[in-house]
Amino acid sequence: MTTREITLKTEPFVLNVGPLHPSTHGVYRMRTTLDGEVVLDIEPVFGYLHRGIEKLMEERTFTGIIPLTDRLDYISPMSNNLAYCLAVEKLCGIKVPERAEYLRVIMAELQRLANHCIAVGSFLNDAGAYFTPFMYTFREREKIVDLFEMVSGQRMTYNYMRIGGVSQDIPEEFLPALAKLLDQLERFVDEYDFLLKENEILIARAKGVGILPKEVAINCGISGPVARASGIRRDLRRDDPYSIYDRFEFDIPVGENGDSYDRYRVRVAEMRQSLRIIRQAMKDIPAGPVKAEVPQVVRPPAGEVYAHIEAPKGELGFYIVSDGSIAPYRCHVRPTSLINLTALRQMVRGWKVADLIVIFGSIDITMGEVDR
């Protein structure tokens, strides 16, 4: 008896993940080619949130641009404000008062904590812990946002920093409230880490998944916690200190394997370092003015400048060309999130669809910054 061989004809299958998929953190679309459940290739599709911010910047005064920067990475507006203001100050040669420098550092580090709360929470959400960890991290983020509301009146798009300082001094009750919050956050990070560090499911889903080798990360221009998880010890707060970061003691946590688990671990470790920096800044904050004497309409000299900061997601920079008028001739944002997505294609090939979601979640992007 002869056995008839059955040959199944298979062909790759195209699946659109996004643009309105809960795990895409905004309106990002991955045109995924699948072989069964295995990802063969992805093709990223951008532009659903493109508002032409770089063009809008050319038509506003230098001060009028600050609210636009809030809308780039809307998860961490304080960092965007800071990077932009540093660029204009570098161009004009404005010296920022001491108190303002300390306030900026406190706000930027609180912003990093708030960002990492969301990054870690949504990463675990993507890994299948449906909304339980997200609720806890959001609860802590709310407390940070309460402090931001205290100083700026806003719970998003804070628009707090100004060219030459910050918009207003902190109210009296801010520092006591901050001290209380730091104690709470410290306990929270410890507890959270204790619950998750050796969590079997998290390790199964994230350890060894989506490895980004060091050489690839450097070649792709990856920055921030994603790069540090791959073992690149680069942090602009240390390597190219801006503001007054050279006065504080802190460590730069790095990962070893460059997998999704390491990216998560680096973020948790960074939260501890941020708490450390805020404590030092709180101790030394001097009295005095919070804004330099800057004209109402800033008119920088003709020239060009690039200033960058270590934003929660990586290197955020502003390249500004001025022709001596009240508006920039050209203002380019170095988009951390867009560049960090470059390596995604290599990272997900060969993994399953469920892993694709985890790997993407571990990069932590904001579409407002990708599309601009």
Partner 1 sequence: MTVILKAKDIIARLSEKFPGCLAEAGTDSVLVEAAAIPAVVQYLREGEGLEFDYLNFITAVDYYQYFEVVYHLTSLKHNHAIFLKTRCYDRENPSVPSVVGIFQGADFQEREIYDLFGIKFEGHPDLRRIFLWEGFPGHPLRKDFNQ
Between 268 and 343, whose beta carbon lies closer to partner 1?
343
In this complex, which beta carbon is closest to partner 1, that of residue 174 or of residue 319? 319
The 3-state DSSP class for residue 49 equals coil
Secondary structure (3-state) at 309: strand
* 3-state SS class at 271: helix
CB 19, min distance to partner 1, A: 13
Q: How many residues does the chain have?
A: 372
Considering the complex, state which of residue 165 and residue 368 has its C-beta at the smaller distance from partner 1.
368
Name every residue whose Cβ is closer than 8 Å to that of residue 9 and which is 6 or more positions away in sequence.
none
Smallest CA-to-CA distance from 235 within 356, 152, 112 is with 112
Query: Residue 288 gets which letter from DSSP?
Result: S
Return the biggest CA–CA distance within the chain.
Answer: 96
User: Residue 244 Cβ, how far from partner 1 at the closest point, in Å?
Assistant: 14
CA distance 70 to 84: 10
Residue 60: CB atoms within 10 Å: 16
Residue 255 Cβ, how far from partner 1 at the closest point, in Å? 16
Instruction: Give the shortest CB-342-to-partner 1 separation in angstroms.
Output: 5
Q: Using the minimum distance from each CB to partner 1, give the nearer residue, 121 or 258.
A: 258
For the CB of residue 278, give the shortest distance to partner 1 in the complex, in Å.
24
Shortest Cβ distance from residue 227 to partner 1 (Å)? 10
Residue nearer to partner 1 on the CB measure, 189 or 316: 316
* Residues found near partner 1 in the complex (CB under 8 A): 46-47, 50, 52, 54-55, 216, 218-222, 232, 234, 239-241, 304, 306, 308, 315, 317, 319, 321, 329-330, 332, 334, 338-339, 341-343, 371-372
Q: Which is nearer to partner 1, 70 or 371 (CB)?
A: 371
The C-alpha torsion from 50 through 223 and 358 to 27, rounded to 10°, is 0
Q: How many CA atoms lie within 13 A of 328 on its CB side?
A: 27
